A and B are shown apart, each in its own frame.
Chain A
């Protein structure tokens, strides 16, 4: 029997279906559960995925209200026990607001913020395909361990710039940034548009100390098939996309699936 992953749906979450599909493509069993699910039922899952969207309409701040729900007590408790937890986009914002990244429990201090994008000449929401490369903390994080090639996938957010005012946290981030924004040919960068928000250390995804929780702003679940990859994308994934000439080939694995395969390996 395959491991079961809870896909947590808050009011305003809108990526639960494609997140579930990505889990199923790699052979995991997933189930979409609402934010008010009973704690005992939630605890029965092996891993947790917080999908993207606009939980509570991003009121007050993105992720701020969802992070205070009792549901996060369970996620926090299970994360502390070693269960994998993946937050994508708004899910990442919830994990950061809950103090689960880079901390480890519900009592952890909130050491990071996801600030509005800092893009010269424009404000607010931005969407673009970006390239992710393993950061200094990749080998410690179960979702990124063994990742070798750049992972192109879309980003789509207005508040995705990792920041911290805590000097100790800033030092720790050197080893906890699991994925960084990079140029298509590789090489982490803070330059727009490859780094779309000005994130510190070019951070796209930050893990906790134990490596079982990852807050990732881009959307790997939107790059789960080759058909989703833009034909004009530079690099090897663009070449694969251009070479795909029939429906079967287009339905082949996309670059984002690598993170979900890593989750399956961890749960094996």
Chain B
């Protein structure tokens, strides 16, 4: 490996953080999408649950944010001061973070409820193995909130991207193949009877099965 490729590998995603935002109350869009899929597109009682969240994924430089505490403080401070990304009066933000070691060992750096009440840290709903996911983003870019770069410590942010995350739970006796096939089928629109959540003329998507990985953008979907 050359030194430049080593550097690029190290700087690509040394630590990845995800902020998942959902509504504190019922999500009308998720309710309507759920009903449309069950009643209008024929998925019926195969589909048990559907959740919709906004995702902001950050790639962070551990030289600037060397500890889990610093990452937690920094993201918490961002969530408390941003006026672009979320509305704490009606939304919840979940933060997940993982440092990508050479061994790429899994493990959340930030798992506990944080001191900052508006920014709960911990395991959000619908990230367990029982769920499947569609990550959807505009083809023209996963643009991050406008105030992100100016509100993060200088040089801490290596990259960021925003997307919409739909998480679905299929009936419990579905096989892995059925789950994958059905999740794909509710995604990209082909006709008014096929596909729903992804408009392929201006959106891209990636499908994930089971536990939600960190990172999503850099990780391998299916």
B23 within 8 A of A: no
Give A147 to B52 CA distance when docked, in angstroms.
45
**Min distance, Cβ B198 to any Cβ of chain A, angstroms:** 9
**Min distance, Cβ B146 to any Cβ of chain A, angstroms:** 9
Of residues 195 through 215 on chain B, the ones whose CB sits less than 8 Å from some CB of chain A are 196-197, 199-203
Give A101 to B140 CA distance when docked, in angstroms.
23
Please determine whether B199 and A106 come into contact, CB atoms closer than 8 angstroms: no
B138 within 8 A of A: yes
Give A112 to B140 CA distance when docked, in angstroms.
16
* A: interface residue count bin: 20 to 34
- Say which residue of A61, A68, A166 sits within 8 Å of B199 (CB atoms): A61
**Min distance, Cβ B26 to any Cβ of chain A, angstroms:** 12
Q: CB-nearest residue of chain B relative to A108? A: B191
Give A118 to B29 CA distance when docked, in angstroms.
24
A97 within 8 A of B: yes
- Say which residue of B36, B138, B139 sits within 8 Å of A68 (CB atoms): B36
Please determine whether A68 and B191 come into contact, CB atoms closer than 8 angstroms: no
Q: How many inter-chain contacts with C-beta < 8 Å in the A-B complex?
A: 71
Give A106 to B197 CA distance when docked, in angstroms.
18
- Say which residue of A99, A118, A164, A166 sits within 8 Å of B192 (CB atoms): A99
Please determine whether A59 and B33 come into contact, CB atoms closer than 8 angstroms: yes
Would A109 and B191 be within 8 Å (CB), given that A59-B28, A60-B197, A68-B196 are in contact? yes
Q: CB-nearest residue of chain B relative to A113? A: B201
A115 within 8 A of B: yes
Give A57 to B32 CA distance when docked, in angstroms.
10
A88 within 8 A of B: no
Give A70 to B40 CA distance when docked, in angstroms.
8
Would A99 and B191 be within 8 Å (CB), given that A59-B33, A69-B40 are in contact? yes
B190 within 8 A of A: yes
- Say which residue of B191, B192, B196, B201 sits within 8 Å of A60 (CB atoms): B196
Please determine whether B201 and A112 come into contact, CB atoms closer than 8 angstroms: yes
A257 within 8 A of B: no
> Which residue, of A99, A106, A118, has the highest number of chain B Cβ atoms within 10 A?
A99
Would A113 and B200 be within 8 Å (CB), given that A60-B32, A106-B192 are in contact? yes
Of residues 55 through 70 on chain A, the ones whose CB sits less than 8 Å from some CB of chain B are 56-57, 59-61, 64-65, 67-70
- Say which residue of A57, A61, A69, A107 sits within 8 Å of B191 (CB atoms): A107
Contacts of A110 in B (CB 8 A): 189-192, 199, 201
A165 within 8 A of B: yes
Please determine whether A57 and B28 come into contact, CB atoms closer than 8 angstroms: yes
Give A212 to B196 CA distance when docked, in angstroms.
26
A116 within 8 A of B: yes
Please determine whether B193 and A106 come into contact, CB atoms closer than 8 angstroms: yes
Give A4 to B199 CA distance when docked, in angstroms.
34
**Min distance, Cβ A36 to any Cβ of chain B, angstroms:** 12
Give A107 to B194 CA distance when docked, in angstroms.
10
Contacts of B201 in A (CB 8 A): 110-113, 115, 163-166
- Say which residue of B29, B191, B199 sits within 8 Å of A59 (CB atoms): B29
Would A116 and B138 be within 8 Å (CB), given that A60-B33, A99-B191 are in contact? yes
Would A65 and B192 be within 8 Å (CB), given that A113-B202, A115-B201, A164-B201 are in contact? no
Q: Point out residues on B near A: beta carbons under 8 Å.
A: 28-29, 32-33, 36, 40-41, 138-140, 189-193, 196-197, 199-203
- 30 residue pairs bridging A and B, Cβ less than 8 Å apart: A57-B28, A57-B29, A57-B32, A59-B28, A60-B29, A60-B197, A61-B199, A64-B36, A65-B32, A65-B36, A67-B192, A68-B193, A68-B196, A70-B40, A98-B192, A99-B192, A106-B191, A106-B192, A106-B193, A108-B191, A110-B189, A110-B192, A113-B201, A115-B199, A116-B202, A118-B140, A163-B201, A163-B202, A165-B200, A166-B201
Q: Point out residues on A near B: beta carbons under 8 Å.
A: 56-57, 59-61, 64-65, 67-70, 72, 97-99, 106-113, 115-116, 118, 163-166
